[in-house]
Chain A
Amino acid sequence: MTDLHTELKASIIEQLNLEDMEVSDIENDEPLFGDGLGLDSIDALELIVLLEKDYGIKLTDPKKGREIFESINKMADFIEANRTK
């Protein structure tokens, strides 16, 4: 687990109001949507904002969001490859 993974988990907990959740509660490969963390479509939109705000990545095709936000691992990989901040 890198700093980015931890950082992402902490951001998600804060941005998405996941009360009573700790960084240690989120697994790196756990599905964020559907069964895992149970995030919904508004959360997905908020994650798109997070990508731009914290990492300078503007998602040109929002439909790609579901792929990128599949898990913390997938998110971290995408960010490493595309971050401008």
Chain B
Amino acid sequence: MKNLYLHEDCIISPLGCTTSENLEHLRSGTTGLQKFNKSEFLDTPICAGVVNSEVLAEAFSAIGDPKAFTKLEQMMLLAVHQILIKNPDLNRMETGLIVSTTKGNVHLLEDLCVFKKERLLLSNLGEIIKDFFGFGLKPIVVSNACISGGLALAVAKKMINAGKFNKAVVVGGDMLSKFIVTGFNSFQALSETACKPFSKDRNGINLGEAAAAMLVSDTPKKDSVTISLAGDASANDANHISGPSRTGEGLFKSIQNSLKEAGISSEAIKAVATHGTATLYNDEMEAIAITRSDLGATPLHSVKAYYGHTLGASALIESILCKHMMLNNEIYPSLHFNKLGVSKEINVVTAYQNSINLDYVLKTASGFGGCNLAMVFKKEGQNG
């Protein structure tokens, strides 16, 4: 299996409209979450990562008419646009396009506004992105709950290895809506305050909206350090459709298989970028899977307290962050952690760290439907 090499990326989120803006906030531990006593989503207080619609529309108006595109489309198109600007010679006719989203434009179920009902279809979202930029190949749309963003990278790797194309733009996104917020609220899963991954006093997730895009290919950068996806695996818990396995079965298996594909043991992993949603069950399950994999002492973080849980964008954004941590030898801190609140000893990074060589980083993700995903990122092209 050829490795998948990660190139230019862009994150559109409450922390900014470029990756570098996002990274600045992550380094300084500044959250993008906001408290709302009442919102368009719910009558009761929530804490969420909301992208400012006016700021977004203004940024988007440089490339298109904001009235003709939903908020989600604007975020995703802006993210892809930035990739293409940095790659003017990219042959769009031969570049793959892989799209990740869990709910797409589901908010249109409440009110179609100016849009036709085909806009609800996720395949339609793929076509919109394809047509906007003139991509030549049929988009591949992945919708597999909260692992979608990372799974899209794994799909890109497989399709490149199948010879379909040798480069692809992977784009992921989800936007907040009454549909999504009331849904998680009916699960009693939301915290009214900023979430506290792995902490003893954690009491639920915050939701967020964001988009991200990354160019990937089968070739590393010339004469430069490149980060690659060296191993990936997914495994279902086969336990429950909305709660994780109490023994972390599927995630443990995913981690083992991804390490195997990368040809390393857990000792080689220098940091873990977890899913860490701050629910009682997810964080406990993840801690179990991580310690079962002998990674209890390995520095880990969750970035859900910066963005909220951005669903179809989350695993992609978090993979992009892995890439930058590895390129810059840094780890962004996990926010709002005070006391360990899981049954296993894990090493939660609470202060910004730099000057650490991260040659392998593990990214984990889990989602409804019992799905789990693990990805091993590798630093290649280092001197010495």
Stretch at the interface among A3-11, A21-29, A40-48, A66-74: A40-48
Contact B186 A45 (CB under 8 A): yes
B186 touches A49 (CB 8 A): yes
B381 contacts partner chain A, Cβ-Cβ < 8 Å: no
Which B residues between 236 and 254 are near A, CB-CB below 8 angstroms? 240-243
Number of interface residues of B (CB under 8 A): 7
Q: From B188, which residue of chain A is reached at the shortest CB distance?
A: A62
A40/B240 in contact, CB under 8 A: yes
Interface residues of A in 41-60 (CB under 8 A from B): 41-42, 45, 48-49
Inter-chain contact A41/B240, CB cutoff 8 Å: yes
Count the A-B residue pairs with Cβ separation under 8 angstroms: how many? 12
| Contact partners of B242 in chain A: CB under 8 A | 41-42
Residue-wise, chain B 170-193 has the 8 Å CB interface mask toward A (1 for contact) of: 000000000000000011100000
A41-B281 Cα distance, complex, nearest whole Å: 12
- Residue ID in chain A nearest B280 by CB atoms: A63
A41 and B187 CA atoms in complex are apart in Å by: 9
Residue contact A45 to B188, C-beta cutoff 8 Å: yes
In the bound complex, how far is the Cα of B242 from the Cα of A40, in angstroms?
11
Residue of B nearest to A44 (CB): B188
Please tell me if the beta carbons of A45 and B187 are within 8 angstroms of each other in the complex.
yes
Chain B residues whose CB sits within 8 angstroms of the CB of A62 once the complex forms: 188
- Contact partners of A41 in chain B: CB under 8 A: 240, 242-243
When chains A and B are docked, how far (Å) is the Cα of A45 from the Cα of B183? Answer: 11
Chain B residues in 8 Å Cβ range of A40: 240
Chain A residue at smallest Cβ distance from B241: A42
- Chain B: minimal CB distance from A63 (Å): 9
Q: Do B240 and A48 touch across chains, with their CB atoms under 8 A apart?
A: no
Contacts of B187 in A (CB 8 A): 45
Within 8 A of A (CB), among B182-229: 186-188
**CA–CA, A41 and B280, complex, Å:** 14
Q: Nearest Cβ distance between residue A39 and chain B, in whole angstroms?
A: 13
Residues of A close to B188: CB separation below 8 A? 45, 48, 62
**A residues touching B (Cβ–Cβ < 8 Å)?**
40-42, 45, 48-49, 62
Taking A41-B240, A41-B243 as given, write out 10 further A-B residue pairs in contact, using a Cβ cutoff of 8 Å, ordered by the A residue number.
A40-B240, A41-B242, A42-B241, A42-B242, A45-B186, A45-B187, A45-B188, A48-B188, A49-B186, A62-B188
Contact residues of B with A, CB < 8 Å?
Answer: 186-188, 240-243
4 nearest A-B residue pairs (beta carbon): A62-B188, A41-B243, A42-B242, A45-B187
